[in-house]
């Protein structure tokens, strides 16, 4: 494994969230006017709660950062409570006083998804992200870069894998309601971040985490590309780190 990958194994989800928040807060404190990359999904929620707590205690200030999110369903209205725009506002941004003009996320309402991807990529490239938060899909996806025959470069318009749709159905009333397409930062967009903070929780992520960090680097396991990044933090609970 690449020695630039630092692995923190925590007892449980609670301590995982605290450790991840500590690492992220340190990066924000170092660059309080920098750009940072955010993820949705269940895994970062505990860390987001920790960060909110730090802001309340005035230990951390997010008001000057620029936030870039990994992905968004397509098509979806920003006001839809299933959109990632809504998720980030409700679970973090509104509570840390992040100005609306500092929030960037692929636009799920854009009339032309391809054009939107090109424009979002330009923004991300210019932003030069300090630290990108990632979760990991059961199939090794990062962002919505699903297992494929090649690593997608830039922000792109993708069809979600069947097992991702099934995994995400837990947030929707029924499976058919889960959008089938998304806009996502590409693998190259993610790899451009100066550092990466990947969170993994639960036994369900154990095998894919091992394959990603110790297996072959292949687009069939998109997260395996992180072995080529020069500054990666993995924060996993014991269950997810079972095979490490």
Residues that bind ligand F6R (CB under 6 A): 39-43, 70-71, 135-137, 141-144
Catalytic residue among 4, 91, 139, 163: 139
Whether the CB-CB separation of 14 and 46 falls below 8 Å is answered with yes
Nearer to ligand F6R, 61 or 86 (CB): 86
Q: Is 146 a catalytic residue?
A: yes
34 burial type by CB count under 10 A (0-12 exposed, 13-18 middle, 19+ buried): middle
CB nearer to ligand F6R: give 60 or 199: 199
Q: Which of 209, 85, 230, 72 minimizes the C-alpha distance to 136? A: 209
The one catalytic residue among 10, 50, 66, 71: 71
Which element (helix H / strand E) includes 123?
A: helix 113-127
- Known catalytic residue at 71: yes
Annotated catalytic residue 4:
no
Nearest distance in Å: CB 222, ligand F6R: 9
Minimum gap (Å) between residue 116 Cβ and ligand F6R: 16
Residue 71 or 130: the one with the smaller Cβ distance to ligand F6R is 71
Spacing of C-alpha 39 from chain mean position: 3
Catalytic member of 10, 50, 121, 146: 146
As annotated, the active-site residues are: 71, 139, 141, 146
């Amino acid at each position: 494994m690449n020695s630039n990958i630092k692995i923190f194994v925590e007892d449980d989800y609670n301590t995982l969230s605290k450790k991840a928040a500590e690492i992220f807060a340190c990066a924000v404190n170092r660059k309080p006017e920098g750009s940072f990359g955010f993820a949705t999904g269940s895994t970062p929620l505990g860390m987001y709660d920790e960060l909110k707590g730090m802001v309340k205690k005035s230990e951390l200030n997010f008001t000057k950062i620029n936030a870039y999110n990994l992905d968004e369903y397509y098509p979806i209205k920003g006001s839809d409570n299933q959109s990632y725009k809504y998720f980030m506002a409700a679970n973090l941004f509104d509570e840390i006083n992040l100005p609306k003009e500092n929030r960037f996320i692929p636009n799920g309402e854009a009339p032309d998804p391809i054009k939107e991807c090109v424009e979002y990529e330009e923004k991300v490239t210019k932003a030069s992200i300090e630290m990108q938060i990632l979760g990991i899909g059961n199939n090794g996806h990062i962002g919505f870069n699903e297992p494929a025959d090649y690593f997608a470069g830039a922000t792109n318009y993708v069809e979600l894998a069947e097992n991702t749709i099934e995994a995400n159905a837990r947030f929707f009333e029924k499976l058919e309601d889960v959008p089938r397409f998304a806009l996502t930062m590409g693998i190259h967009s993610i790899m451009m971040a100066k550092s990466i903070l990947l969170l993994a929780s639960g036994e369900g992520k154990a095998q894919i985490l091992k394959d990603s960090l110790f297996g072959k680097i292949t687009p069939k396991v998109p997260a395996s590309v992180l072995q080529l990044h020069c500054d990666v933090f993995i924060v996993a609970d014991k269950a997810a780190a079972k095979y490490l």
